[in-house]
Amino acid sequence: MIEYLLSAMILGLLLHGIHRKVIARVQGRPGPPIWQELLHTLKFLFKETWIPKTASQGLYVGVVALALAIWSAALILLLTGGSLLLLFALYLIHKIIEHGTGLSSGSQYSKFGAIRSVISAASELPLLASVALLYLFTGSLMISDIEAYQVINGPLLIPAFPAAIALYMVILSKIHYGPFSIIEAKELVSGYWTEHFGVWRGLLNAAFGLKTFVLLYTFVMVFIGPIGLPLTLLAILILMITLSFVCAVTPMLSPYDSVSIQTVTTGLIAIYIIYLGVFA
């Protein structure tokens, strides 16, 4: 399993690099090489590291380990066809990681990032709507069942299109430099992880690379189905590039607008779910 985790981590960091490259090219800049995020992570892993004097030491270190743990668990869950509800839970626990990372250092910059993380809890609502709609279609939340459903009935992307939109927005809200990235906005330096540096930053980078891969892989698995490894990787790449285009042409929203858009999206999907439940 360790080889899967390392591969997913490296692929996730490469996807981050591709993300930055596409954004740069759309904006008319050369951009960094696509392996830049990988190099960043390696660099951080070998830099001098300590814990700030003002930090809550246990939490400061603990959140880094938890970030790695939850996304490793999420990947294993995907590979073993586990419960989508559990994946939803792990995604929500990531919110605690963001919040804990911001609160643990004592710095006001990271604390503001953490507070924004609380108010952007609206970004979880589309995922819940997406999970509910998938349950309505397939009658199960096990990823293996959802895959089996798609083998028989074809990809869920078309019939459950609103759920796909919701999950797409969830991924968009977790991507760097996106319209919903208010928790790591530049006015807060690096937001919630401003004070995590050195090895802590390197490990968080690795965990977030894993997170990106897992979220994109989830999208492909639950909306397109089992299509083999090469096509899955291609679909992940295409998905990442579309996200990068959105990020390149969309300014970062204000916290208020960010929460409003995510809540309205969830509301629309909830209406669609009620319509399906009552009339379909």
Partner 1 sequence: MIRVFDQGIEGAGLFMIEFGDIVPYFSVYTATLFTFAIIFTLLATFSIPEKQMDIIFGGDAYYAKEIKPQDLRFQRFVAIACGTATLGAVVTGDIFNFTLFAAMIGITNIGIVASSRSHHVLNAAYQYGIVAMIACVPLFGGAAMILATTGTLSIWSLAGIGAAPILAKILLLLGVMGEGMAPFYIGKAEITRAQGAPFILMVHVSSLLLFLRVVEIILVI
Stretch 142-161 residues interacting with partner 1 (CB under 8 A): 142, 145
In the complex, minimum distance from the CB of residue 149 to partner 1, in angstroms, rounded to a whole number = 10
Residue 82 Cβ vs partner 1, minimum distance, rounded to whole Å: 5
Give the three-class secondary structure for 249.
helix
Minimum CB separation of residue 20 from partner 1 in Å reads 31
Q: Does 267 bind partner 1 (CB under 8 A)?
A: no
Binding partner 1 (rule: CB under 8 A), the pick from 17, 31, 100, 162 is 100
Q: Does residue 202 contact residue 45 with C-beta atoms inside 8 Å?
A: yes
227, 87 Cβ separation under 8 angstroms? no
- Told to check if 51 binds partner 1 by CB under 8 A, we report no
Identify the residue among 7, 54, 250, 254 touching partner 1 (CB under 8 A). Answer: 54
- Number of residues assigned to the chain: 280
Tell whether residue 259 is a contact of partner 1 (CB under 8 A): no
| Surface-to-core class of residue 233, CB atoms within 10 Å of its CB (0-12 exposed, 13-18 middle, 19+ buried) | middle
Q: Measured between alpha carbons, how far is 162 from 171 in angstroms, rounded to an integer? A: 14
In this structure, are residues 212 and 175 in contact, taking their beta carbons and an 8 Å threshold? yes
Per rule CB under 8 A, count of chain residues that contact partner 1: 44
Q: How far apart are CA 244 and CA 260, in angstroms?
A: 22
**According to the binding rule CB under 8 A, does residue 235 interact with partner 1?**
no
Burial of 57 from C-beta contacts in 10 A (0-12 / 13-18 / 19+): exposed
Residue 73 touches partner 1, criterion: CB under 8 A: yes
Chain residues that interact with partner 1, rule: CB under 8 A: 53-60, 62, 66, 73, 82-83, 85-86, 88-90, 92-93, 95-96, 99-100, 103-108, 111-112, 114-115, 118-119, 121, 128, 135, 139-142, 145
